[in-house]
Amino acid sequence: MSITATTSISNPSGPVWIGAGEASGDIHAATLLGALREVEPGLTALGMGGPALIKAGCDVRFPMRLISLVGLTEVLSGLPRIIRLLAQVKRALMEARPRALILIDCPDFHFRVARIAKKLGIPVYYYVSPQVWAWRSGRVEFLRAHTRRVLCILPFEKDFYAARNMDVDYVGHPLMDQMPLSELDALRPDPDLLGLLPGSRRKEITALLPEFGRAALLLRQRLPKLKLALARAPGVDEAFLRQFLPPELPVTIHPPEDRYRMMRQSRALLAASGTVTLEAALIGTPTVVAYKLSALSFAIGKAVVQVKWASLPNLIMGREIFPELLQDKARAELFAERLAPWLGEDIALAAARADLAGLRAKVGGPGAAHRAAAIILDDLRTLSQQHTEQ
């Protein structure tokens, strides 16, 4: 049996499907679910996600680790598994009959889910717009055809879509709700602490953490008092991380829930590119950004990417406030070279912190999840009314 647009819309008390594919998206999804339930207390949800979404009360049918892939070559090697997963998702959608799909980033997977939902007549809302401004801008046409609304969280995205004749909603960044910035502002950074954030995916960690460890050893030769802290991502075991660190390097590993405090208490950070770099910028801690893909994935990405920087703080500010060391430059010697002035010179550190001061104002105030929830539920009520009047 297939679901038509009529049966989906005529089920206003049905569940919503929420899809998240990585750690930050899982947190955004959980915050959004909480906001949806504030407006509609009886709302139920199912879908794909991780520990944050489970804790928020979502019936997570598919763990997000099933699509934890990075880069073209990694996606190709996992393609048979992804095809099987999409078939399972389709069956789950047909059985659950959700009144809406809310998809969060991860376009390589979620675009396929959106296409399935469109055929089944289920309205799709895209929260945390995919980075179509970075590459493959033609995907705007896919979003126009397959979604009811696109909800953006970065200030420059609305203008990007407007230039392509698509009206989207800018709701602000959910991090402004999730991060206890007032509490963090009251913490004093440790003048001798370097924080490490090697990513949430295994391929990120295996590529970057050995170089992070060697960089720390080089820095300790210059700065013997230097201390190291590492925040592990949800679902990543401490034992897995330690196998990539030099045994002679003392590193305190913090659980995921302590990462903001660790980031604020650090004098500087060395981090894998991702949402964590925006978190670091909002917290006010200078950060060196690193990333490494397979040679083929990077070559393809370099050919098609349409933006100058990889990290969100640099894109938002329109200039390099965080140094980016990517691919062949993601080496211990270069990490140490860029971190040394911040760790050893108070003047250099103060200048870097001052450079971050204007970023919070550009991102906007709190309330993103509540604005997104209101837009989605209002639109669903409109659909339901239209169906009733027919």
pLDDT, tens digit (0-9, with 9 covering 90-100), for 144-198: 999 999 999 998 898 889 999 999 999 999 999 889 999 999 999 999 999 999 9
pLDDT at position 121 is 94
- Give me the CATH code for the 181-363 domain, please: 3.40.50.2000
Give the tens place of pLDDT for each residue, 15-43.
999 999 988 899 999 999 999 999 999 99
Residue 69 has pLDDT above 70, yes or no: no
Mean pLDDT of 204-212: 95
pLDDT at 132: 80
Render 307-325 in DSSP notation, one character per residue: SS-SSHHHHHHTS-SS-EE
DSSP letter assigned to residue 126: E
Average pLDDT for residues 219-226, to the nearest whole number? 96
pLDDT-above-90 percentage for the chain: 67
Q: At what angle do helices 139-146 and 107-120 cross, to 10 degrees?
A: 30
- Would you place residue 292 in the very low, low, confident or very high pLDDT band (cuts 50, 70, 90)? confident
Residue 311, phi-psi category: left (phi > 0), alpha (psi -120 to 50), beta (remainder): beta
Q: What is the pLDDT of residue 77?
A: 61
Say yes or no: domain 5-172+367-389 is CATH 3.40.50.300. no
- Per-residue pLDDT band for 6 (boundaries 50, 70, 90) equals very low
Query: Nearest Cα to 343, choosing from 198, 189, 236, 147?
Result: 189
Percentage of the chain modeled with pLDDT above 70: 89
Q: What is the mean pLDDT of residues 213-236?
A: 95
Go through 151-166 and write b for each residue having 16 or more CB atoms within 10 A of its CB, e for each that does not: bbbbeebbebbeeeeb
345's tokens: 């010179």
For the chain, which residues make up each domain, given as ranges?
5-172+367-389, 181-363
Q: Comparing 5-172+367-389 with 181-363, is the CATH topology the same?
A: yes
Q: Which residues of 237-260 are buried (b: 16+ CB within 10 A; e: fewer)?
A: eeeebbebbeeeeebebbebeebb
Mean pLDDT of 285-294: 89
pLDDT of residue 360 exceeding 70: yes
DSSP state of 376: H
pLDDT band per the 50, 70, 90 thresholds, residue 75: low
CA diameter of the chain: 75
H runs (alpha helix) in 228-311: 238-242, 259-265, 275-283, 295-304
* 288 Rama sector, left if φ>0, alpha if ψ -120 to 50, beta otherwise: beta
Kindly give, in sequence order, each residue whose CB lies less than 8 Å from that of residue 251, ignoring residues fewer than 6 positions away: 196, 213, 216, 228, 229, 230, 242, 245
Check if the beta carbon of residue 135 is closer than 8 Å to that of residue 51. Answer: no
More confident: 350 or 72: 350
